[in-house]
Amino acid sequence: MPPMKVAIGQIAPVLLDRERTLTKIVDAVAEAGSGEAELIVFGETLLPGYPVWIGRTDGARFAAQDQKEYHSLYLEQAVDIGAGHLAPVQAAAKEHGITVCLGVAERHQHSVFAARVFIGADGEILSVHRKLRPTHEERLTWAPGDGAGLVVHPVGPFTVGGLNCWENWMPLARAALYAQGEDLHCMLWPGSRRNTEDITPVMAKEGRSYVISVSAPLRAADVPADFPGRDLVVPDADEIVHDGGSCIAAPDGSWVIEPLGSEEAVVIAEIDPARVREERQNFDPAGHYSRPDVLDLTVDRRRLGGARFVDGDGA
C-alpha cells in the first residue's frame, strides 16, 4: 500500500453565484489532478457559498422581507443534485481520475441542507451527507439532516469519510465513521483558522487517522457588486470574513500541512497508510481498544422526509 497524494482545495466562492463558483471548483480539480492527487477536499457549502448574511443583517427578524429575498436567492443558486448541477464537477473528476469531497448547499424542494458530497474518480456521485445539526444562526436557513450519508468510501489505500463543520465535534458521529474503518477523515468548514487549528490534530490523534480540514476563505472581493445589501454584509472593502485555516494532520496529531492563511490555494501533500498502522498499535478506536459489549451505538441511515407513505395493494 504505497503513499497517496491528496489535495486541499482552499478556494473562495463567488457568493451565491453557482455557475461562476462551479468554474473555480472545476479548475481546482484539474490542478489537483495534474499534480497526481487522488483526492481533493473543498470547504463547507462552498457551492454556492455560506449564508454569511444571516449574522450580518439581523437575520432572526421574523418575516423580514430582506431575509425572505435572501432565502429565495439562496434556493435559486443552491445545488439540485437531481437536476445535474454537479455535472461539471463530475466530468472533471472523471477526466482527471480524482475523487472529490465537496461542500454544497443542497436544495430539496424549498429547503436547504448543508451537504457533503463524495464524487468518485469515475465521476459518479457516491454519497450525499446532510449536516445533522446546523449550528447557531445556520438554523435560520438550513434544515437538519439525517444519517443516510454517514458512510465511508475506499480511495486508494484509505477508507475515507467526512463531516461538516461542528458536527465534527459530535462524538457519536465520529464513532459511526470509525466503526466503518475510516482512516482518512475530511472536515469541511465555512472558513477560519479558529475552527480548524484545535480540532484537526485532536481528531487525528483520537481516530489515529489522517485528517484533512478544508475551509472556504471569504474576502470582501468575493461578494459580487450586485449582492443584495452588500454594504451591510461586507462594509469594509478590505475585510476578510473567513481567513482560511485549511490544514492536514497525521495520525499522531502532528502537522502535515499547517493551517493556511486567507489566500486561495490548491495544496498537495503525500500521506502514507503505514503511519495509520503504526499509531493503531496502541490505540484503535473501533478495534482492539473498543468495548462494544459495554458501549453500543445504533446508527439510523434512512433518508428522512416529510412523510412516509404506506400504500395498499389495490384489492
Q: Is 21 helix (H, G, I), strand (E, B) or coil?
A: helix
Closest CA to 186 of 261, 258, 249: 249
Burial-class residue 187 by CB neighbours within 10 Å (0-12, 13-18, 19+): buried
Residue 272 has a pLDDT of: 98
Which stretches of the chain drop beneath a pLDDT of 70?
Answer: 315
Q: Which residues, other chains included, contact 209 with Cβ-Cβ below 8 Å and sequence gap of 6+?
A: 182, 183, 184, 185, 203, 251, 276
Strands 153-155 and 158-164: antiparallel
Residue 235 identity (one-letter amino acid): P
pLDDT at position 1 is: 83
Q: What pLDDT sits at residue 114?
A: 98
Q: Which residues contact residue 7 at a Cβ distance below 8 angstroms, ignoring those fewer than 6 apart? A: 28, 31, 32, 35, 37, 39, 40, 41, 98, 266, 267, 268, 269
Cβ neighbours of 309 (radius 10 Å): 5
pLDDT on residue 315: 62
Residue 313 DSSP class = -
* Whole-number pLDDT of residue 111: 96
Q: Locate the domains of the chain by residue range.
A: 4-279
What's the confidence (pLDDT) of residue 312?
86
Residue 213: predicted pLDDT: 98
Q: Report the top-level CATH class of 4-279.
A: alpha beta
Burial class (CB in 10 A: 0-12, 13-18, 19+), 45: buried
Q: What is the pLDDT of residue 120?
A: 98
Tell me the pTM: 0.96
The single-letter DSSP state of residue 276 is: H
